[in-house]
Structure 1
């Protein structure tokens, strides 16, 4: 009995660390306009407060997982949580936009050390049916964090506890992180028997290339040269991976057209999701002058719709209809986006009908994400599962970064040019709708053909995969 309680207490420690990551991303997204108003700088810094976190997080996820395999997952987990807490304190104490962005980047690096260890540590502590039960707790915890994050960000910032204003959204990580570190000795040390090699050159090329592609999307002005260098660097990364003895990405994953299509699908869908969330928050605070509490509460229908739809999809729809639920999710989310476009075209003051459109968007999000990860990983061979899950999550975070950059720039650029925040939001939602249509094409490729995944396949549980998290 004592051993049983010890394992579940250790699981709670891992889940707290996972929740910390998602809460930090969604809380900061709501508070970003207030941070910008206090620290100053160009409006593009609002996008960097999110992108500076998700970009290094995405680029270092696979490397973080390999470090755990090599030197021990518990050790890397503790180092990552310590770094995350210290970086959170640095964010809370930041006196300039540059310092904040740098501290956010360190946070992202630390999170990349923490998150990949979760599955390995769970599998080392549990056996048999208990493993599935333990892994099954990740989804509800992530869903709860996603629901609470936007509202909590608005409440903490608006409450101005002890004059802390937006700084409280970072300080909340300190007690959570300390609690995780105190409980970390409960975790069993674990490492891979076949220790992989670190692909440092590949990681560096991917990080530099992606950063150079993202920068022109956010920075004001035209930086075509930087974009071209970024694309060339990513091309060089691809060549390096084909010839490297120890590549960052398993080349065999691309032998099945379904998995590359899943990566494209993940990037497009989460670009739309993260970008649209940012547009709603920034439109309300910068465009309409609403306070941060109003912005946070406005996102509740989105979060609530996602939570309810995720439960319904997982418990009833996916077991019966399989991968077809993804198509229903995309259609539902696109309907919500078009509804938001109609609201922005007619709204004068606070867009009350937008709440309904956001609820529909959140419902579509929940319907899509539950079957997506299972479908994407179903045909992956057992020895490729860890690499595939890490790559899929990295691309998810990268897509969120690109969406924040693209849709945020569409909104801010249109707002600056026309002076109409509502019109700018409508244009950004049109772009988001285009991303969802492109996602539908990628889903079609992923699930069709002799090497795709049938609806029946998606009813089976995947070996690994995270639920969606905002970045």
Structure 2
């Protein structure tokens, strides 16, 4: 692969001692556009089905169990296969695996759209999640391998903003397309729309994505892949479904089993590494303080931010009986906050990771404490609730891109796919952990109150507010932990491991 002359080369021709401004070439912007679009559709499709479930149940039947699996199957498949999906990119090339992911996602969307039975719909959703597990790690691996270190923060900020926008816009787009009833397709339109867009994205990716294959190709550690999939499933299943079953004993049994499997996996990886055999997750990653601290901070950040957004959305829709559109407009302040701190984060954050992550964590903490105060006072003003969501977004925007830059700095090119899979898996585990545990606190505070009756009287709305305040105090504690963990991050940005492959 040859260097694109001109615009890229000019970035390096600066006077010694003078920092060059970060300017992405048109080729890099095109690559980033493809990665951002894929990230957006992951966030969108993870949430787009929620508001269409009643329509789906009326047409296909299947009951409440089908509705649960239509949502949970996607998340479970993604989390279970992320680490293996990342390693497959190291083995077969990030471009090839990314293209397979897009093509598979498009085809599985068509399967869901054309489903005639509940089983076919759930199977298609599981396939969608599996294909996302192939795409997502490749996005981060492409950033690591093909972009310069000073470009990592802007690239991760754009893809992170795309996921957030897709996640928040999912319910609105799903409701709009379902109500629009395009060509009489009803709820099926929310999946049919993925087909032409996915085909266009595939064509663009074929044209602009570089090969992204390392010189030394590792082999797949098949026993390790089975262990990591089993451990991930044993952890994620109770986190996703446990609260709906009252945290039955089997939930804690599966979590205990997952811990045992993770320990077995760690021993297996150390044994293979000592023999000089390729591993699924390089043990050396966790001996790097910046990587371990960054991974822990990312896990806590997503646990707090995802649960906060979930709680706020649920409170607005069911506690205050707001429409899905009004709720989405209020929660849209989250990506707005991310966007407004965007330039500050990518320009200055990677050079001062400890400072920026600490400031971001404290901003999210301030938002959580403000939400507790509003809930206690019974304030339901749109502007105030949107302002709280904005604080969450601003804190996330200061934290997430900088953590990504720190983590990418810790990876060698040969580890890009495996490392990206570990990073994305940790954010999935963090999100599931936050919603599972903090969500249980929230629903426990409701004491079985009916969501449908929330708008009928102020007492039920007050009950939702009290439950929200208690649960958000838990997210505040999580954000405080992020600030503590940030102390282990480098005070100043370090030199990257390995050189990026030029576009």
Please classify the TM superposition score into its range, dividing by the shorter chain length: 0.7 to 0.9
The count of residues paired between Structure 1 and Structure 2 equals 450
Matched residues in 1 for 2:350 and 2:258: separation? 40
Unaligned runs of 5+ in 1: 448-452, 466-471
Shift of 1:122: 6.9
Residues 305 and 359, structure 1, Cα contact 8 Å, conserved in 2 = yes
Residues 50 and 404, structure 1, Cα contact 8 Å, conserved in 2 = no
1:162-177 alignment to 2 at 5 Å?
Answer: 162=181, 167-177=188-198
Q: Which has the larger radius of gyration?
A: 2
| Equivalence for 1:196 | 218
> Structure 1 residues 120, 147: CA separation in 2 closer, same or farther (over 3 Å shift)?
closer
1:25-424 alignment to 2 at 5 Å?
Answer: 25-26=43-44, 28-29=46-47, 32-35=50-53, 39=57, 51-93=72-114, 100-118=121-139, 136-137=154-155, 139-144=157-162, 146-147=164-165, 150-151=168-169, 153-158=171-176, 160-162=179-181, 167-186=188-207, 187-189=209-211, 191-217=213-239, 218-219=241-242, 220-244=245-269, 245=272, 246-316=278-348, 319=351, 321-347=352-378, 352-379=383-410, 384=415, 386-418=417-449, 420-424=463-467
| Equivalence for 2:20 | none
| Equivalence for 2:479 | 436
Question: SS state of the match for residue 353, structure 1?
Answer: helix
Matched residues in 2 for 1:309 and 1:339: separation? 20
- TM-score of the superposed pair, with normalisation by structure 2: 0.76
> Structure 1 residues 279, 92: CA separation in 2 closer, same or farther (over 3 Å shift)?
farther
| Equivalence for 1:450 | none
1:2-13 alignment to 2 at 5 Å?
Answer: 12=30
Shift of 1:441: 2.7
Shift of 1:213: 2.8
Matched residues in 1 for 2:203 and 2:114: separation? 24
Shift of 1:306: 1.3
Q: Deviations over 1:353-387 (max 9, x none)?
A: 21111111111111111322223444556655553
| Equivalence for 1:468 | none
> Structure 1 residues 216, 52: CA separation in 2 closer, same or farther (over 3 Å shift)?
same
Residues 90 and 416, structure 2, Cα contact 8 Å, conserved in 1 = no
Matched residues in 1 for 2:164 and 2:439: separation? 20
CA RMSD across the alignment:
3.7
Residues 258 and 376, structure 1, Cα contact 8 Å, conserved in 2 = yes
- TM-score of the superposed pair, with normalisation by structure 1: 0.81
